[in-house]
Amino acid sequence: MRFGSMLAVYALIWVLAAFAVLPFGLRTPHDAGVNPTVGHATSAPVNFRPRMVAWRATLVSAVVFALLYANFRHGWITASDLDISPLIGL
């Protein structure tokens, strides 16, 4: 796998991981026991920390990418392993 391909795959995994870890650790004003300010949605978090989201996404994506790259190098799961057409009679 070339470096540019690896970078593109990692970036896609990172974005997916960022969306996956986004809701963890967030608290609404109701959960935090505070009154929302004027114009603040009651469902919006009061403790959003984008650096923490980026850090968690980086950790998750690094693990997922490492597993994906190891599978690419060692061939544990191939495209023929994922072929379900014999199971459905095609």
Q: Tell me: the pLDDT tens digits for 14-38? A: 999 999 999 998 888 888 888 888 8
**Are the C-beta atoms of residues 45 and 27 closer than 8 Å to each other?**
yes
Question: How much is the pLDDT for 34?
Answer: 85
Residues 59, 65, 66, 67: is their CA dihedral positive or negative? positive
Question: How much is the pLDDT for 44?
Answer: 85
Reported confidence tier of residue 73, pLDDT bands at 50, 70, 90: very high
